[in-house]
Amino acid sequence: MNAATKQPCREIVVSGVGHTRFGRLDEEDVESLVVEAVRGALADADVPGDAVDAIFFGNFNVGMQPLAFGSSLALQADDGLLGVPATRVENACASGSAAVHQGIQAILAGAANTVLVVGAEKMTNSSPETVGRALLGADYDAAGTASRHGFAGLFAAVAHEYQRRYGSIGDEMAWIAAKNHANGLANPYAHLRKDFSFDFCRDVTDANPMVAHPLRRTDCSPVSDGAAALVLQRENLAVRSLARIVGYSQSNDYLPAARRDPLAFEGTKAAVEQALKMSNRALTDLDFAEVHDCFTIAELLVYEAIGLAEPGRAREVVNAGTTLKDGRLPVNPSGGLKSKGHPVGATGVSQHVLAALQLSGRAGDMQVPDAGIGLVHNMGGLAVANYATIMESL
């Protein structure tokens, strides 16, 4: 699995962030969400619009909204942005992180000193059939098929395969769901600020039905609306700095399912390893991680892919409480996609925003004590396009 070596990026900082609430936002559209997030990020960074050199807009859409060309929506937030080159970036559920990485690369290439990154998605006003069909457009084998549940069926098959090889993980997935819901209670941006107990997440009931066996509703992230934005700058130009980017990598796996081991998450493994290598850090140096838990089985497999557990032994991480907020490596202190929500184009940007807040001590009730270095992991498709970013406090 190839993940290209890139030049170190220690001179790049996140200087400001903006974030809307995630959820069913009937009164909002993509434009209003983008404007709110962008204005928040520019104000937080104390950067005027005319100081921005480039804009990257993470947005998946694929038919969920009629406007498929939203790269210039950010200009609605500040007239100083008029004329700034703006590019829509799409890479399925990793569109937000793809936009962040494009911003990093623009600065490293000398094409920009200040970059605005925004990710947004409006999903809840589309029918379940429209959303399901749109999301399945990111899968080689299922693209074009009808579905109300999108990727739930695909990840259910992954969970079945895990159980075939290694035994039941129903309790472990319920534990992950309960953990992330407990964390999400502290996140003012979260879609589902509900404290679901382990028993509630484990049991199949009318309130927690089976969606695609063995995935219960509590094993699945919600369909959400929302936006997030951040400003990237060369550190010597920033008025204020929240966190430094010290490593980043992208690694893609084969698109056809037949060419991938569904449990290996090889692209995730390669991207995280390369980002850690660039940052001259190890997994044991991390103080927290925000990872792509679109389904609880995904977070379980990320534990193994990044080296917290050997293949088939992720239950040991669960049993030890390793990824609890007060554990050795807190995972998804924001509540993750499971609780915070998953407006597809916004997700990766949101993960970077929440990591920057952690590293600057501004995460409020979500705060991990003494957070000095964190990992952001975001993936598109079933671990096909994989992004990792290592960020540290200043």
Instruction: List, in sequence order, every beta strand (DSSP E) within the chain.
Output: 12-19, 54-58, 86-89, 114-121, 210-212, 215-216, 226-234, 243-252, 288-290, 373-380, 385-392
C-alpha–C-alpha distance, residues 204 and 216, integer Å: 7
Question: What angle, rounded to 10 degrees, do the helices at 296-305 and 152-166 form?
Answer: 50
C-alpha–C-alpha distance, residues 151 and 132, integer Å: 7
Cis bond before residue 311 (omega within 30° of 0): no
User: In Å, how far are 142, 169, 251, 259 from 265, measured between CA atoms?
Assistant: 19, 18, 11, 12
Residues labelled as active-site residues: 93, 342
Burial of 137 (0-12, 13-18, 19+ CB in 10 A): middle
C-alpha–C-alpha distance, residues 12 and 27, integer Å: 36
C-alpha–C-alpha distance, residues 72 and 345, integer Å: 15
C-alpha–C-alpha distance, residues 155 and 303, integer Å: 16
Compute the half-sphere exposure of residue 11: CA atoms within 13 Å on the CB side of its CA.
13
